[in-house]
Amino acid sequence: MSTAERAEGAAWDEVTPDAARRLLVAAVEAFAERGYHATTTRDIAGRAGMSPAALYIHYKTKEELLHRISAIGHGKALRILESAADGPGTASERLAEAVRTFVVWHAGRHMTARVVQYELDALGAEHRAEIIQLRRKCDAAVRRILGDGVQSGEFDVPDVSGTTLAVLSLCIDVARWFNVAGRRTPDEVGELYADLVLRMVARNQQ
């Protein structure tokens, strides 16, 4: 079991039974490395130490595997953003917390995040529609913080919805470039990004 597998696999203990979880963890790894369409069901089963047929005992199709990963992953991402948005503190504090924890998740669980954020198009129509609902809620959480900050006078944001888009986009893209072998830890990237985002919305003092 690789380091990445150990670090990211621990998060899936809500998936039972054990064989189903092992398959799901293997799928996350494979989808993240090669992409959904370039991954074969034989590859997933092989990584989980099973025969190709074993996959179909626990999941109806390869697409159902992706959907399960995407739904659980988006659920976690949404919980991170909402608990920051609806938590205590000033708008600045809540925005910094939201960006920090969201970025730490995208960097620390960058395999999961890569699948969650970049393989949406591979989902079937109904599953995709369901996931897009979750995305809208993520957007709403960030927008709420920005709106609060504008109202309280902490922030100067001429275009709230555009800036919401930019903040989320900035955080999400961490999953694409983050490299475990790189110089930065997830916490360091989180700190850097929280600072950059606060600067983006801060009232201009000059």
Partner DNA sequence: CCTGATGCTGAGCAAGCGCTTAGGGGTGCC
Partner DNA sequence: GGCACCCCTAAGCGCTTGCTCAGCATCAGG
Q: In this structure, which amino acid lies at residue 189? A: V
Using rule CB under 7 A, residue 152 touches DNA:
no
Using rule CB under 8 A, residue 118 touches a second copy:
yes
Q: Which stretch binds DNA (CB under 7 A): 35-43, 108-116, 147-155, 192-200?
A: 35-43
How many Cβ atoms are within 10 Å of 187's Cβ, its own excluded? 13
Instruction: Please identify which residue in 4, 7, 50, 78 interacts with DNA, judged by CB under 7 A.
Output: 50
The tokens for 52 are: 């190709």
Instruction: Please identify which residue in 1, 14, 53, 125 interacts with DNA, judged by CB under 7 A.
Output: 53
Buried b (16+ CB within 10 A) or exposed e, 12-21: beebeeeebb
- With beta carbons less than 8 A apart as the criterion, state whether 8 and 32 touch: no
Q: Which does 88 bind (CB under 5 to 8 A by kind): DNA, a second copy, none?
A: none
- Looking at the chain, the number of H-run helices and the number of E-run strands are 11, 0
Q: Is the peptide bond before 52 cis (omega within 30 degrees of 0)?
A: no
Nearest-angstrom CA–CA distance, 58 and 77: 25
- With beta carbons less than 8 A apart as the criterion, state whether 24 and 68 touch: yes
Q: Which does 129 bind (CB under 5 to 8 A by kind): a second copy, DNA, none?
A: none
Tell me the residue length of the chain: 206
Instruction: Please identify which residue in 177, 180, 185, 187 interacts with a second copy, judged by CB under 8 A.
Output: 177
Instruction: Please identify which residue in 10, 86, 173, 180 interacts with a second copy, judged by CB under 8 A.
Output: 173
Using rule CB under 8 A, residue 134 touches a second copy:
no
- With respect to DNA, which residue has the nearer C-beta, 19 or 202? 19
Instruction: Please identify which residue in 87, 159, 180, 185 interacts with a second copy, judged by CB under 8 A.
Output: 159
The mark string for 101-130 relative to DNA (x by CB under 7 A, - otherwise) is: ------------------------------
